[in-house]
């Protein structure tokens, strides 16, 4: 037989049918909505397979040797009972689309960063509390979906700022704030249904529709963290949580050139990352003047300058300006981050007809 695609979904299979061996050059197999509990080792010998759809079964794990399917490009094991992914997942060098949504995953292995051809990753509806920084090394990833991970409080900026990223979804998570270093070429964002978020970075304004106002409550969860940095919006006495890593913020208008030399150094090191991944070079990181400088390089910029012609990375200190839309009843606060008063003034002149700034002051987490 020369058939290369099999549609064996909805057949009440308890095991993967060994009849698969009867099909020469088999490339695609659909086994959705059965009762399959494991992927047998013999299946890993079908190295011509490019597409496996096992959604809606009873799988509890993936075999460590799954990378034997060296030509596999599409793997869907969504809506199963998988509690962990094998550490060898990064060896699936041909994988382009991976869907593990609707399982019981509590973490994503660091090896996922080795999937250099991965374009689509769906990790929605699991039990994730964090994301590995190595995910940012998936250089071709353009769609990342992580919605319905209710304990996920933070998206590392290095991940949100992946250069190839075009779609980001993180609805109904536990996000405390939105990463203000969003990738430059993102054209779709589903991220606003996170009730603990107190403000929207201006980079999301294009994607923000008026109906989100009813969803957003602005009620931070009672979570303590040593690196929380708050300011208070004076008019409504609303506390705004700024990105992790923030050490100092300045008003607009303010004295020019208040950004620290420390941040200038980090900016220069970040530029070198385009030629050499410094954040992976432990020897170099350990030779930097302070340990925290290495940490900032690893984590990446916490924001980028809001002025569209600048986009400079920001690390620990920046000019901060919360604004609201004019002629709108919305309570939504948009936040702007600038690398200099020059950029702040340019942005303000360009947007004065659409936005007005609101007053704020520094405050402590327990104020």
User: Domains (ranges, CATH) in the chain?
Assistant: 5-220 (3.80.10.10), 248-363 (no CATH)
CB crowding 135-165: b at 16 or more within 10 Å, else e: bbbbeebbbbbbbbbeebbbbbbbbbbbeeb
In the DSSP assignment, the letter for residue 360 is E
pLDDT tens for the chain, 367 residues long, are 445 899 999 999 999 999 988 887 899 999 999 999 999 999 999 999 999 999 999 999 999 999 999 999 999 999 999 999 999 999 999 999 999 999 999 999 999 999 999 999 999 999 999 999 999 999 999 999 999 999 999 999 889 989 899 999 999 999 999 999 888 789 999 999 998 999 999 999 889 876 666 555 555 556 666 678 999 999 888 899 999 889 899 999 988 777 777 787 777 776 666 666 666 677 666 766 666 677 777 778 899 999 988 888 898 899 999 999 998 877 889 999 999 999 999 999 999 999 999 999 998 767 6
Measured distance CA(140)–CA(108) in Å, rounded: 18
End-to-end CA distance of the chain: 73
Cβ-based neighbour number of residue 178 at 10 Å? 23
- CB-based contact 134:111 (threshold 8 Å): yes
DSSP output for 155-201: --HHHHT-TT--EEE-TTS--SS--B---TT--EEE----TT---EE
Measured distance CA(105)–CA(59) in Å, rounded: 12
Measured distance CA(136)–CA(7) in Å, rounded: 35
């Amino acid at each position: 037989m020369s058939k290369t695609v099999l549609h064996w979904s909805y057949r009440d299979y308890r095991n993967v049918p060994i009849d698969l061996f009867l099909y020469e050059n088999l490339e695609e197999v659909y086994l959705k909505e059965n009762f399959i509990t494991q992927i047998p080792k013999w299946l890993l010998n079908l190295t011509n397979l490019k597409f496996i759809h096992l959604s809606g079964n009873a799988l509890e794990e993936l075999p460590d040797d799954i990378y034997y399917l060296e030509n596999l490009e599409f793997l869907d094991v969504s809506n199963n009972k998988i509690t962990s992914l094998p550490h060898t997942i990064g060896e699936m060098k041909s994988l382009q689309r991976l869907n593990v949504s609707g399982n019981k995953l509590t973490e994503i292995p660091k090896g996922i960063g080795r999937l250099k051809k991965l374009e689509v990753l769906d990790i929605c509806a699991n039990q994730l509390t964090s994301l590995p920084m190595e995910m940012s090394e998936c250089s071709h990833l353009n769609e990342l979906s992580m919605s319905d991970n209710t304990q996920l409080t933070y998206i590392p900026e290095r991940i949100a700022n992946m250069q190839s990223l075009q779609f980001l979804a993180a609805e109904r998570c536990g996000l405390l704030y939105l990463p203000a270093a969003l990738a430059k070429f993102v054209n779709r964002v589903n991220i606003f249904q996170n009730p603990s978020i107190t403000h929207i970075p201006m980079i999301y304004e294009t994607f923000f529709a008026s109906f989100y106002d009813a969803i957003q409550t602005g009620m931070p969860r009672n979570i303590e963290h040593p690196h929380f940095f708050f300011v208070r919006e004076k008019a409504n006495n609303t506390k705004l949580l700024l990105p992790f890593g923030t050490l100092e913020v300045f008003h607009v208008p303010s004295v020019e050139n208040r950004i620290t030399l420390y941040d200038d150094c980090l900016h220069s090191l970040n530029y070198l990352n385009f030629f050499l991944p410094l954040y992976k070079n432990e020897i170099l990181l350990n030779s930097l003047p302070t340990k925290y400088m290495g940490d900032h390089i690893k984590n990446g910029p916490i924001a980028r300058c809001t002025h569209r012609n600048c986009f400079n990375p920001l690390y620990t200190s920046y000019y901060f300006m919360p604004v609201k839309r004019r002629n709108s009843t919305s309570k939504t606060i948009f936040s702007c981050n600038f690398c200099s008063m020059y950029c702040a003034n340019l942005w303000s002149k360009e947007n004065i007809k659409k936005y007005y700034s609101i007053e704020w002051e520094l405050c402590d987490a327990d104020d």
